[in-house]
């Protein structure tokens, strides 16, 4: 006897890079899963007319007049998905490309494991298709920092494909059950960019759900294209501010260690680094720490976004 597939709403928050979004939608058009729709939250970007040709029958667009952040955009999409009776919600970055069977594998595991609330694929670097970006993570409760086993390793079919528990599932491809969202709520919008997935994962564990990485499910990620690269001032600002907020919420005793690490990073940038952006990066650290203490939760200083609005 066959059972109907659960409905999955795929939420893509888009900001700037149309070419990445097109590649993502082209890959979604080839997936083997049938019962899904796509909600694109256009975060203050240009018109998407013609962009969704490959998936237009399954796609609807929510247009925001301004950039309300990764969390704000995803929360809009989640509300729309639940209103339309989604059984699962998949948060998917617009700079990802997916394998055809990735969603079948995740949903099948979720359906057979009631205690699995969040599920994610093994994530590879798009530019190095065998190099692992994310395959699970552990938050060190003593230091407050994240350990990600197998990250940056080359996967030559020697790494176990057995599903593993993780403290969180990366928000670049995060499948979550409706029942879990109803229990723990939406993403915390105090995290404008970064750390929101870790906070959500920790809240999931506190609610006695498991966060699972299913390595047989695979995607490829064009890392940090929208924020200016893996170590841009914009990313440093939000990573720093968000990390301190996460410590407040989950591991307050680690905050002094985290702050000490940031001070060492700033000293390195100012006195030893040859990075041409070192002053701007140090300034991003200082701004993040100041804004954390001011309890700011917005997009951050305008100078971080220079040359990123067009």
Which pLDDT value is given to residue 238?
97
Which pLDDT value is given to residue 159?
72
310 falls within a domain: no
Q: Are residues 189 and 301 in the same domain?
A: no
Q: 289 or 58: which carries more pLDDT confidence?
A: 289
Q: What is the 3-state secondary structure (H, E, C) of 253-270?
A: HHHHHHHHHHHHHHHHHH
Interval 140-160 mean pLDDT: 90
- Rounded to two decimals, the pTM is 0.93
Q: How many domains, in total, are found in the chain? A: 2
Q: CA nearest 102: which of 269, 218, 235?
A: 218
Contacts of residue 113, Cβ cutoff 8 Å, sequence gap at least 6: 210, 212
The radius of gyration of the chain's CA atoms, rounded to the nearest angstrom, is 19
Rounded Cα distance, 59 and 242, in Å: 31
Q: Are residues 300 and 151 in the same domain?
A: no
CA dihedral over 140, 202, 255, 171, signed as positive or negative: positive
- Grouping H, G, I as helix, E, B as strand and the rest as coil, residue 11 is strand
Place of tokens 């990485």: 213
Which pLDDT value is given to residue 310?
43
Interval 50-77 mean pLDDT: 88
Q: Are residues 298 and 199 in the same domain?
A: no
Q: Are residues 64 and 122 in the same domain?
A: yes
Helix, strand, coil distribution of the chain in percent, nearest 5 = 40, 20, 40
196-206 and 233-250 helices cross at what angle (nearest 10)?
20
- Is it the case that residue 47 has pLDDT exceeding 80? no
- Is it the case that residue 15 has pLDDT exceeding 60? yes
Host domain of residue 149: 8-221
Tens-digit pLDDT profile for residues 268-310:
999 999 999 999 999 999 999 999 999 999 999 999 987 655 4
2 falls within a domain: no
Which pLDDT value is given to residue 1?
34
Q: Are residues 27 and 175 in the same domain?
A: yes
Which pLDDT value is given to residue 3?
60
Q: Which two tokens stand for residue 143?
A: 């230091």
Confidence of residue 140 (pLDDT cuts 50, 70, 90): very high
Q: Are residues 132 and 59 in the same domain?
A: yes
Q: Which two tokens stand for residue 250?
A: 């989950």
Which pLDDT value is given to residue 297?
95
Q: Are residues 249 and 182 in the same domain?
A: no
Q: Are residues 87 and 214 in the same domain?
A: yes
Residue at a domain's end among 186, 221, 256: 221
Tens-digit pLDDT profile for residues 173-232:
999 999 999 999 999 999 999 999 999 999 999 999 999 999 999 999 998 655 445 689
CA dihedral over 65, 66, 72, 78, signed as positive or negative: positive
CATH number for position 31 = 3.90.550.60
255-271 and 233-250 helices cross at what angle (nearest 10)?
160
């Amino acid at each position: 006897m066959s059972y109907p597939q659960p409905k999955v709403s795929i939420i893509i928050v888009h900001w700037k890079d149309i070419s990445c979004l097109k590649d993502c939608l082209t890959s979604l058009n080839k997936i083997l899963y049938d019962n899904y729709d796509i909600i694109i939250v256009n975060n203050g970007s240009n018109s998407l007319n013609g962009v969704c040709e490959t998936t237009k029958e399954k796609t609807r667009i929510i247009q925001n007049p301004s950039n309300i952040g990764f969390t704000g955009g995803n929360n809009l999409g989640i509300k729309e998905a639940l209103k339309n009776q989604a059984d699962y919600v998949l948060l998917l970055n617009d700079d990802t490309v997916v394998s055809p069977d990735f969603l079948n594998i995740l949903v099948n595991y979720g359906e057979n494991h009631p205690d699995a609330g969040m599920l994610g694929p093994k994530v590879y670097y798009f530019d190095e298709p065998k190099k692992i970006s994310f395959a699970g993570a552990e938050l060190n409760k003593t230091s407050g920092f994240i350990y990600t086993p197998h990250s940056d390793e080359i996967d030559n079919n020697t790494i176990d494909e057995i599903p593993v528990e993780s403290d969180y599932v990366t928000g670049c491809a995060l499948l979550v059950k409706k029942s879990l969202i109803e229990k723990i709520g939406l993403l915390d919008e105090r995290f404008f960019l970064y750390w929101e997935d870790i906070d959500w994962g920790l809240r999931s564990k506190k609610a006695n759900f498991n966060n699972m990485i299913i390595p047989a499910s695979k995607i490829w990620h064009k890392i940090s294209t929208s924020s200016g690269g893996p170590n841009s001032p914009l990313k440093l600002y939000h990573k720093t501010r968000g990390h301190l907020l996460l410590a407040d919420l989950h591991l307050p005793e680690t905050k002094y260690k985290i702050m000490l690490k940031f001070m060492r990073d700033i000293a390195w940038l100012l006195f030893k680094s040859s990075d041409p952006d070192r002053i701007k990066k140090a300034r991003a650290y200082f701004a993040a720490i100041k804004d954390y203490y001011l309890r700011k939760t917005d997009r951050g200083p305008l100078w971080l976004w220079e040359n990123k609005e067009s």
